[in-house]
Amino acid sequence: MFFCPYLNHFFYRFLHFLWKQPDQSNKPTTVNMSGLDGVEHKTLKVNGINMHVAELPGSGSGGDPTILFIHGFPELWYTWRHQMTALSSLGYRTIAPDLRGYGDTDAPEKLEEYTYFNIVGDLVALIDAVTGGDGQVFVVGHDWGAMIAWQLCMYRPEKVKALVNMSVLFSPRNPDRVPIPTLRRFFGDDYYICRFQKPGEVEEEFQKLGTEKVLKEFLTYKTPGPLYLPKGKLFKSSENDVSALPSWLTQEDLDYYVTKYENKGFTGPINYYRNLDRNWELTAPWTGAKIRVPVKFIVGDQDLTYNSPGAKEYINGGGFKKDVPLLDETVVLKGVGHFLHEESPEEINQHIHSFFQKFL
């Protein structure tokens, strides 16, 4: 979630491939879910894990441009259902995996197997699989998916034709600030990312609360301020358990998430947060690196990330453009929160299509 899977650039300033075709026994299946007629669900072997991938073809001509959608926390491929349906109808081949540790994709047991390198490695292998090994794809990312998309573009820009990223700004590595100690000093031990650090602890609390309540709290959070999860008092001040779901999230949608998280659990997704310091160590060679891929960035004005200290200054003061030289536009949607692609799908779909059309 806002779920800032990152230590934002403004926090720092403020503080001072092979893929093999699946076996014939592993045939694609078609499902009908919330109007998603024709979605193919495949299990592909990528980077040493089995990855679940949902796909909707475009025209079916074989030459359709491919869009790779990268989801965030606590989401799944399903978060892109509106984008897949709309953009496939416009002739794009749309592909949305469950990331490592999520949904129907493998969840390695070792905590250290959830670094940027592991996850980007999975996606590079997936891109090679869907392009024949030497092609490019369009990329759309949100939340953790946005952070992974920034890393993908930094390590392997030749794989990405253009990027639409949402919610999470690019976060240049600060060699003087280790992420978790910095967050603890600034926000305290109850800040959600800090609470996520001890393996097993928050998972046990989530289990006591129940998967549906936990997911509902995260998915409906719309407070433009830091999220705190005091031990033994998770979501105590929230009224989401008695309030209706927002119009953009149906009970059917929530049930799908609940089913998958009850089967897989939260440990894999939370391990992304537990690798923030390790990622900081591993990415030392990219200190000062810039994003050299064409980018459109979209954020809601009610999103926590947009209202974090220094975010607006970073966007409007030229810092963002300096770090992302090919930034085409930053779009701020009025009255929209963190899950903007679900809250305002038609507007997001139009932004994605109009931007990618420039590169066809």
Catalytic residue check, 328: no
Burial profile 230-264: b = 16 or more Cβ within 10 angstroms, e = fewer: eeeebbeeeebeeeeeeebbeeebbebbbebbeeb
71, 338, 341, 351: which is the annotated catalytic residue?
338
Please give the C-alpha separations between residue 317 and each of 41, 168, 257, 321, 322, in angstroms, as whole numbers.
44, 17, 39, 9, 10
Contacts of 12 (CB under 8 A, 6+ apart): 171, 172, 174, 177, 182
Active-site residue (options: 98, 128, 143, 323): 143
338 an active-site residue?
yes
Look up residue 49 and give its two tokens.
């894990």
What is the rounded CA–CA span in Å between residue 149 and residue 347? 21
Encoded tokens for 32: 């009908």
Residue 161: count of CB within 10 angstroms of its CB: 18
Could you say which DSSP state residue 22 is in?
Answer: P
Catalytic pick among 273, 314, 341, 351: 273
Task: Tally the residues of the chain.
Answer: 360
Residue 204 — φ and ψ, nearest 5°? -65, -40
* Residue 78 is among the residues annotated as catalytic for this protein: no
Q: Which residues are catalytic?
A: 143, 273, 338
